[in-house]
C-alpha cells in the first residue's frame, strides 16, 4: 500500500488518452479483437485505473497473471472478460469461478482440477487451453495436444473460449523461432477439425508478434508493453506508431558545490575532476528506480540531459550539472519529455543493462500515480 502523499515531488504521470490512441492504433493494425494485458499493475501504470479506462474504450478482453489481480478488478467493478494467464494452483481454482475469471488450463490433470471445482460449485468454468510451442514454461507440448483437446471438448463442466500459446522470440524481427512456433500452434489447432469440433478463439501474438509477424494475429492479439507505448526490445521495429503513455518526474531538493576530488554517495565511486555543481533528486531504489543507473543514468533538467553521479541511494540520487544553475523545486524528468529533449523507458533500460519491462514494473507504490485525460484526474 503506497503513501500517496499529494506533496511528494516524485510521481508517475499516466496519459489515458495515449492508451486510448494506442489501443485504436493496435486494433487498426491487427484487424482482430484485443486482449489488453494489465498484469503487474498494468506494467507499472496502475491496474484498476488502466483496466477501468480500457473497459470504457470497449476493449474485448483483459489479461492478468494471477487470480488475485483478476479478483481486484472484479471488486473494482470491471465486468469485461478476464483471462488469468498464469499456471493454476489447485486450492485457488474455486476463486476463479466465484469471480468469473477465465482459466488457463495447461494439461489434462489441470483440466480435471477445474472440472472438479466447477462441479462442486455447480458453475461452469470458462477455459482457454495453453499449448507450449517453444517456451517450455506451461502448456502441453504442441505435438501431444490431441488427447488434451479431446478431453476439453468432451468436458461437461467447461466452456472452451480459447486456445493459445506464447511467442518466445518475437521481439527479434529476424528470428526464425516465431515461424516455427506458429507452425506448431496451427498444427495443434487443426486437431479440432480432425475430431469435428469447432475451433475456439486462437491467440498467440504478443507485442512483438503484433509489431513484426502479421501472420500471428489469428483471432485475437495480446498487447502488453506496446499498449503503453514502449517497445519490447532494442531490436524492435516501430511498425505500429504508438506513443508513450507514462512519464516520471521529480524535483530538485538540494543544490551544492562539490569540490574537485571529493567523492559523491556511498562507496565514493565517483568524484569530480573539477569543482562542479550537484543537485539531489528524491527517488531511489526503494521506489524501484534501478540502482544499476549509478553513474550511468541520465535525467532532464531545464530541457538538457545531465548524468547521475555516484551510487543511487535507497531514496535519493545525485546529478552533476557542471557549471549550470538549478534551484530547489525545479522539475527533473526521469522518463518523458522536457523542452525538446526526451528520455524513453527504453533509454533508461539500456543505460541500466535491463529491459524496458523491468524498469516499468519495478516502479512501486511509493510513487504516486496521476491520471490525465480519459475523464480522470488525480492520484
Show which residues are catalytic: 39, 266
How many angstroms from the chain centroid is the CA of residue 307?
27
How open is the CA angle 41-45-51, to the nearest 5 degrees?
A: 70
Distances (CA, A) of 121 to 68, 87, 98: 19, 21, 8
Which residues lie below 8 Å from residue 89, measured CB to CB, with a gap of 6+?
Answer: none
Say how far apart CA 222 and CA 205 lie, in whole Å.
Answer: 6
Distances (CA, A) of 6 to 16, 151, 167, 253, 378: 20, 54, 41, 16, 9
* Three-class DSSP category at 318: strand
Among 88, 84, 34, 40, CA closest to 63: 84
How open is the CA angle 368-230-132, to the nearest 5 degrees?
A: 110
Say how far apart CA 289 and CA 133 lie, in whole Å.
Answer: 35
Task: Give backbone dihedrals phi and psi of 115, rounded to 5 degrees, phi first.
Answer: -60, -45
Say how far apart CA 306 and CA 276 lie, in whole Å.
Answer: 12
Among 262, 269, 225, 248, CA closest to 358: 225
Half-sphere exposure of 42 (CA within 13 A, CB side): 26
Task: Give backbone dihedrals phi and psi of 126, rounded to 5 degrees, phi first.
Answer: -95, 125
Amino acid at each position: 500500500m503506497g503513501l500517496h502523499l499529494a506533496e511528494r515531488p516524485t510521481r508517475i504521470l499516466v496519459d489515458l488518452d495515449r492508451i486510448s490512441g494506442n489501443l485504436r492504433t493496435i486494433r487498426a493494425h491487427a484487424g482482430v479483437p484485443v486482449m489488453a494485458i494489465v498484469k503487474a499493475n498494468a506494467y507499472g501504470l496502475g491496474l484498476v485505473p488502466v483496466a477501468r479506462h480500457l473497459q470504457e474504450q470497449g476493449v474485448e478482453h483483459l489479461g492478468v497473471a494471477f487470480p488475485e489481480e483478476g479478483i481486484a478488478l472484479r471488486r473494482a467493478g470491471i465486468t469485461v472478460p478476464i483471462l488469468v494467464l498464469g499456471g493454476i494452483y489447485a486450492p485457488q481454482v474455486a476463486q476463479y469461478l466465484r469471480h468469473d475469471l477465465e482459466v488457463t488450463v495447461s494439461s489434462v490433470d489441470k483440466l480435471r482440477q477445474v472440472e472438479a471445482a466447477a462441479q462442486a460449485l455447480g458453475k461452469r468454468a470458462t477455459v482457454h487451453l495453453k499449448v507450449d510451442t517453444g517456451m517450455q514454461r506451461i502448456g502441453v507440448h504442441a505435438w501431444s495436444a490431441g488427447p488434451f483437446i479431446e478431453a476439453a471438448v468432451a468436458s461437461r463442466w467447461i466452456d472452451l473460449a480459447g486456445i493459445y500459446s506464447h511467442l518466445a522470440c518475437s521481439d527479434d524481427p529476424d528470428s526464425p523461432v516465431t515461424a516455427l512456433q506458429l507452425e506448431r500452434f496451427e498444427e495443434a489447432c487443426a486437431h479440432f477439425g480432425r475430431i469435428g469440433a469447432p475451433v475456439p478463439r486462437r491467440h498467440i501474438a504478443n507485442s512483438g508478434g503484433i509489431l513484426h509477424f502479421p501472420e500471428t494475429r489469428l483471432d485475437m492479439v495480446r498487447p502488453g508493453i506496446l499498449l503503453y507505448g514502449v517497445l519490447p526490445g532494442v531490436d524492435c521495429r516501430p511498425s505500429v506508431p504508438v506513443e508513450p503513455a507514462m512519464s516520471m518526474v521529480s524535483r530538485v531538493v538540494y543544490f551544492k558545490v562539490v569540490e574537485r576530488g571529493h567523492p559523491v554517495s556511498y562507496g565514493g565511486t565517483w568524484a569530480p575532476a573539477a569543482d562542479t555543481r550537484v543537485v539531489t533528486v528524491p527517488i531511489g531504489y526503494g521506489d524501484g528506480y534501478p540502482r544499476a543507473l549509478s553513474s550511468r543514468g541520465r535525467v532532464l533538467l531545464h530541457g538538457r540531459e545531465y548524468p547521475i553521479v555516484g551510487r543511487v541511494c535507497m531514496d535519493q540520487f545525485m546529478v552533476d550539472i557542471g557549471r549550470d544553475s538549478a534551484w530547489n523545486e525545479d522539475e527533473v524528468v526521469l522518463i518523458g519529455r522536457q523542452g525538446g529533449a526526451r528520455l524513453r523507458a527504453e533509454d533508461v533500460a539500456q543505460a541500466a543493462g535491463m529491459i524496458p519491462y523491468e524498469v516499468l514494473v519495478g516502479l512501486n507504490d511509493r510513487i504516486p500515480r496521476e491520471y490525465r485525460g480519459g475523464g480522470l484526474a488525480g492520484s
